Structure 1
Amino acid sequence: MSQTFRDPQGGGSLIVAWQAKSRSILIVGGGSVAAGRVFNALEADACVTVVAPELCPELEYRASAKQITWHPRKFEDGDLKTADMVLTAIGDAAESRRIADLCHTLRIPVNAADINDLCDFWFMSTHRDHSVQIAVSTNSKAPRLANRIRRQIASALPRGTGLAVDKIGNLRKRIREADSKPENSKRRMTWLTQLCDYWPIEQLAKLDNDNIDLLLDAYVQNHDPQSVHIPNDAMSLSSSSGMPSPVLRGQMEDTPAVMETRKGRLVLVGAGVGDPELLTVRAHNVLKQADIVLADKLIPEPVLDIIKCEIYTARKFPGVATEAQEDLYRRGLEELAKGKCVVRLKQGDPFVYGRGGEEILFFRQHGYEAEVVPGLTSAINGPGLCGIPVTHRGVADQVLVLSGANRNGDLPTVPSYLATRTLVILMAVKRLSQVVELLRDRDFPADLPVAIVERAGCADQRTVRGTLETIVDVVEQAGHNAPGLIVAGHAVNLLSNAAIQDHFLDPTTSGLQSTE
């Protein structure tokens, strides 16, 4: 008999979305790991009880806000009487094992942090956007890599994916209310399937109540969803795929001559360091005037949120940066040929290791001269926002800014150590150990202060500090949140010598104590 069905691969987990609303979840432990478990449970609308002699600041807040029930003591066997699920997050492995054994006897699902053989299930690296939840599991083999995979998946989603799901959920509910006959379930499903498959996600996200009324009427009148036209001022003409929107295509085809004869406007804008309030006034004005924004992959969400037109994002991942840049060039020329105002939005300042000059030369060759709106560069302003003055009288009288990779991907050439110089290296944190070896070869002292400045200007900015001798181990323990840069020099600790600064981390994280 020939085989027509797939053989199971084995070694995986049964991935489910557990309905925890109003279920009782017991969490044993009061530290930062427990706080993460509590947050996940609360997002699932569970009833959360925490048993621990002491609580970290986050759990103290949640207890005072009555988001959780707290028993200020150690675990007791009777705590399991009303539990639908148990999560342990304590440092006592023997006690964790005892609690897990009790749970298994009572058939209560249990997870013991960092003790995989005791767990009935594992927590995954998750992305949440309204009703959309994406979870990545490596089956406990590489949880840190799961975070990286999750970030790459999330970054590839069209903007507004979560909103689109909510809008479709609203429309689906209204259709069921208008046509509740069981025998029409196939018609409802077919119509909604065509809508979801045909319309760009970005435009589904922009549906308002009037648009949903139009779609509901189209369903009631038995019109194909492809025939529905949304007013031109309600949506962008294009989707992130670069193709004209099918729901607006007819309106675009009405005015081809106008689109062919107008000459587009190109503006190269620096997005600065992350905070939209740190954009220049001119940058704000240009972004409001744009018809389309071609954005770098790492532009922070708060900056993107002020943009009202279509955003086309460069998917610049290692190994495909050249192809991504060519894709941006292609899309830019297409939109300029239509007479559009095209804004090329680049992180930091376009001319500080941002390839801004290359882009100007490319578009100039095709007949378009770019206007330039500078932005705050992370090389100078990033350290400043995190409390590091790159120059300080009597300490540092010069700054050297280097890129972590030249055109061939090699590390930069670093001059010999000079005590009065602050060294800033961009785009090199992932090669930190190699950078440290390079600096040692150039006679940089082992006790020289070094800082990793992460996501400067964003709400979750962080500074991780150490010395040339310790910084690799410190970052390995604390983890890294891109984008970041390396700062080395005696100016690093002038305003603070805390090992780590991050108000989103418990001070005991990885054993790094903060004095702030």
Structure 2
Amino acid sequence: MRTVGIGLASGVSATEVLAAVDAVLPPGSGPVRLATLDSRVTEPGLVAAAERRGWPLTGHPAEALARVPVPSPSGAVAARVGTPSVAEAAALLGGGALVVGKTVHGRITVAVARRAADVPARPGTHDRGGPLTTDRAPEVLHPVGLRLAGRRVVVVGGGAAAHRGVAGVLAAGALVTVVSPEVTPALESLASSGRVTWQPRAYRAGDLNGAWLALAATGDADVDAAVARDAELGRIFCTRADQPELASAALPVTGRAGDLVVAVHGPDGPRAVGVRDAVVAGLGDGSLPVRAPEQPGGGSVVLVGGGPGDPGLITVRGRQALATADVVVADHLAPQALLASLPPEVEIIDAAKLPRGRSMAQERINELLVEHARAGRRVVRLKGGDPYVFGRGLEELQACTAAGIPVEVVPGITSAIAVPALAGIPVTHRGLTHEFVVVSGHLPPGHPQSLVDWPALGRLRGTVVVLMGVDTAPAIAAALVEHGRAPDTPVAVVADGSTATQHSVRTTLADLPRTLAEEGIRPPAVWVVGEVVAVAGSVAARR
């Protein structure tokens, strides 16, 4: 006699139970025994189903089920009920082998086992050491990549699941039609911009005509089943968001690492996501030793903005570029911890420019980029912040393009915005300021080479963010006051932003020189002028 293990939600009906069991039993299989978790054995629908067919019904404690090895464990189920698979464990507890693995039918999960003595041997088969044998092998998905560019895809549904599906196929270049009476604001925006076609009505037969792929994502089981049925008749592969196992296609969890797409299929969603994330992270940070192939025609240069200093704030693309670099030309403000993680064969060149101290000439930096790239190496120019915000990135790009070197620019998070934010200071705030200005303080007001219109900045009501302006701060503060800014305008100075030694002080324009001297503030530091400093201070005081 077969044993049918059952996991079920509260409130299921006898009809649902019998439909789920009948779906996995072969015709003429005879009576079965039902088994489940002891806390579910009194469910009225389950009891009624067993009585209707005259099947024995047994409940087992979670502790006993947890000791049974199962082929499809779920951490989420284990956390909820104490055993990683109610259906498979309940079916196997009496001994034997699974003939039908864990299968989901609506709110019910079933698995079928048969005692070893009752299992007929198949010619050419053998025990592989696992519990799955005989009548039904575990489902095997054939992974395939679809070239959807310029091909019609129909998404039925307008909620979050539909939006997720639309985003994926749009990225592949598909011609997307969304069929749904209502859609999320994001989908409505895509329709308004012409990126998708929206049919604002319910699904009806014929909507899949001409489609290469269909996505059923309404959340209504009857509608999604109709979409899947029509797709089957039209030989159109279809996915279902509500019950993926009932569709002809299954979407993997995906991630991107440069020009690679990582796709993972698996019955345990959280585990598949974990595998995806681990692979993508390993490719991004270089812990998976997979080097990108050599580019035909020689080397290349990537100008990477490393962000404000915290290695976690570099962009994904920036991290990927570092993972494939042969040579890294690094500023002293670039995230230093990232350099320590590079393989020993990567050459690191110190291109630091210390404030009013030792520095490598920009011309020499340009020469190094070109020399190493011409030697066939992949060169990363790693900078702090963003390459194009006081980073002389355009000069380096011009030098490379003049030499015929392929060059890519990877933007970074500029410290002008990130460092104040990390100190709790927004550079804009509704109703308070409609503009902010980022200014280099490298040259003081009145310097013959300065290009800053200090009188105009003094007349501004908005936020002024000063970079590279510690030594010149007294002269800058005096110029702002001279040209209209109130002496008591709030100022915040944030030193060593985003690093373990980050610290900040608050003062006013009039007191800024004294505060810097008393606090011993040294570069790198960002200072912010404006009423946003006062607002941020009041919020911090209430926290």
Give the TM-score, by structure 1 length.
Answer: 0.44
Greater share of helix = 1
Greater share of strand = 2
Larger radius of gyration: 2
